[in-house]
Amino acid sequence: MMSQSYSIRKAELSDALEMAKIHKSSLAVDMLSQLNNDDLIVKYYKYFIGKIDFYVLELDTHELVSFVGITTREFDYEEELKKFCKMYIMDILASCIKSIKAFRMILRKVLSPSNGAIQLNAGKRVIIPFEIHITVTKPQYQSMGCGKLCLNHAVEQLGITSCIVKTHSRRAARFYEKCGFKKTNAAFDGNWNLIVLSYYGGVVI
């Protein structure tokens, strides 16, 4: 557990460079981790301008350890379902052309009764106003409770009662589950591995 003194505060534009560096050191496989530092900083500046609320956990030594970014957006389940289904069809067509084997695989997924995307709360319209954009903890401070502390603080400060997070990582999904999120579905994003989790006042939706 975290034994050092720390505080959690809303991030400022001047934190962007450090946050970008932490991001790069923590995420091994990620589109942003391919960027050089300058481009990554620009990306983070854009995030700030793009109205992402960042909260940072900072040690008393002023070292930034963890941060979470949350956007305000309407997440409409019905719309998302339509989007995913459209992608299914596109992928099937593409696979048809590429190879019969891939086509069979896609078809099996579509027909599988356990396919989450197809059963994505069909017919149910749920608008979720917040989305967690990212949570990152510096590698040497991971598994000490920092990410959870930061996320909980942000959720409390923003008065969030319902929120969504989308991730490609099973590890990250397990972290979010520990923070009170529930797996809503395994959605299709072209790679079959986008996990959608939601938090809705502690209730699975």
Ligand X SMILES: CC(C)(COP(=O)(O)OP(=O)(O)OC[C@H]1O[C@@H](n2cnc3c(N)ncnc32)[C@H](O)[C@@H]1OP(=O)(O)O)[C@@H](O)C(=O)NCCC(=O)NCCS
Which residues lie near ligand X (CB under 6 A)? Answer: 26-27, 66, 134-137, 142-148, 167, 169, 171-172, 174-175, 178
Q: Please, which residue, 32 or 126, has the CB nearer to ligand X?
A: 32
Q: Please, which residue, 137 or 198, has the CB nearer to ligand X?
A: 137
H/E stretch holding 31 reads none
Q: At 65, is the secondary structure helix, strand, or coil?
A: strand
Q: Please, which residue, 61 or 140, has the CB nearer to ligand X?
A: 140
- How far is residue 145 CA from its own chain's centroid? 18
- How far is residue 97 CA from its own chain's centroid? 32
Q: Please, which residue, 175 or 199, has the CB nearer to ligand X?
A: 175
- How far is residue 176 CA from its own chain's centroid? 9
Any bridge partners for residue 122, and if so which? none
Q: Rounded to the nearest whole angstrom, what is the least distance from the CB of residue 8 to ligand X in the complex?
A: 12
Q: Please, which residue, 99 or 139, has the CB nearer to ligand X?
A: 139
Q: Rounded to the nearest whole angstrom, what is the least distance from the CB of residue 205 to ligand X in the complex?
A: 21
Q: Rounded to the nearest whole angstrom, what is the least distance from the CB of residue 55 to ligand X in the complex?
A: 13
Query: What is the DSSP pairing of strand 182-187 with strand 6-10?
Result: unpaired
> Which residue sits closest to ligand X, CB atoms considered?
147
CA diameter of the chain: 59
Q: Rounded to the nearest whole angstrom, what is the least distance from the CB of residue 36 to ligand X in the complex?
A: 19
105-130: string of b/e by CB count within 10 Å (b at 16+)?
ebeebbeeeebbbbebbeeeebebeb
Q: Rounded to the nearest whole angstrom, what is the least distance from the CB of residue 80 to ligand X in the complex?
A: 18
